[in-house]
Amino acid sequence: MTAPFVSAMLIGVRIRPSARGGIEMVMPNPSGRRGVYITPWDDIQGLCQPTVHDTVLYRRLGQTSGLVPETVRRVAWEIAAEGLGGAAARRAAALAKAADEAEHLLASFLLLISLIEEVDPTGLIIDAQIRRTPALEERARAALGTIASGMSWSRAAVIGEIDALGRHFAPVGVERSDSRARLRVLLTRVQALACSLRAWLDGRDNDDAAGLARTIADAASLAAEASDATLSGIHDQTRDMRGLLRRWRAHPDTIAEHIGRLAWVLDGWEAICLMWELPVMTPNRPGDRGTDRIRDRSAVLRAMARLIPALPCQISDWTGYDFGANTPERSVPGFPSVESAARTLAAVTRNEHLRAAYR
């Protein structure tokens, strides 16, 4: 899975739990060919000088059990909140925490309304536009008594389980129409990335940059298609809210794993989208010539291509579709063999800007 390291040579490096404890690093093949290198942190330190942020991130993740993309994100934001990723990332961490809480409250509320509509249907449309009104609250109180009695739970237990379940649904949304949830927004950005790259390709010569853009666009389209199919399976669960609550109470880890699948499918795509979206990655300096801007864009495409993640190997089991046959062939540009101190510092600064723009 992706970890938001900011050191120049660690962008694109992924992590996985190690059989010996802690985590190990999964590095793209420096030659640019297929394959990866699995290496411990000590060997990483022989290749480059990691920042304090990256060293602390590695240690914290190594001490964290049950690593999944959402756990990595939480730990990374905790470190950013301490200021180790720069002042902008510290401010972004506070905003991300507030946004997460707002999404959690909204998801819990929509799950509750979905449950009420199941036992007392009125045709209410379940989306983020629903407003709490005295009439709705009175209806909720009456319905909760019926629901709790039918499930042989207390009202407090029903509300408590919905609140816990809401924390997992928060990033994916409760309904298909919930387009403001964090991972739903990221899915939209991945779709937009594919469209933007194809628009950029229109009329261009078939050079190396065009080949990279086409590869990234194809991978983005595939990730978006797989994400959409995964999301459908997640939202199908809310069609039987009472059944979902019973399953959640009996097997919370199984339900959490199912809801967390979208994060696995989209893991790594936020950084790729940001590289194409943010002006900091393609500066327009006064006096630049057109060829300079094209060269900047080509450099961005090379950096993006290095980060393209593979779909989870379980994606066909999750969705019922065979996405493997459509996986684009690609060659990933390798690491620079030598970097000057100035270029390394510039890369770290750029990566800290990216880190601050994460959601």
Task: Report if residue 252 sits inside a domain.
Answer: yes
Average pLDDT over residues 32-39: 74
Q: What is the pLDDT of residues 152-210, one digit of tens each?
A: 999 899 999 999 999 999 999 998 777 889 999 999 999 999 999 999 998 787 888 89
Residue 173 sits at φ, ψ, to 5 deg, of 85, 160
Rounded-to-integer distance, Cα 109 and Cα 105, Å: 6
Rounded-to-integer distance, Cα 143 and Cα 290, Å: 65
Task: Report if residue 1 sits inside a domain.
Answer: no
Is pLDDT above 50 for 281? no
Q: What is the pLDDT of residues 204-262, one digit of tens each?
A: 878 888 999 999 999 999 999 999 999 999 999 999 999 999 999 999 999 999 999 99
Answer whether 27's CB lies under 8 Å from 43's CB.
no
Residue 122: its pLDDT value, please? 75
Task: Report if residue 2 sits inside a domain.
Answer: no
Task: Report if residue 102 sits inside a domain.
Answer: yes
Domain enclosing residue 131, as ranges: 8-357
Number of neighbouring beta carbons within 10 Å of residue 94: 12
Average pLDDT over residues 14-29: 84
Task: Report if residue 68 sits inside a domain.
Answer: yes
Q: What is the mean pLDDT of the chain?
A: 83
Rounded-to-integer distance, Cα 44 and Cα 27, Å: 10
Answer whether 111's CB lies under 8 Å from 248's CB.
no
Task: Report if residue 3 sits inside a domain.
Answer: no
Task: Report if residue 339 sits inside a domain.
Answer: yes
Task: Report if residue 161 sits inside a domain.
Answer: yes
The whole-model pTM stands at 0.84
Residue 72: its pLDDT value, please? 95
- Counting the structural domains of the chain, the total is 1
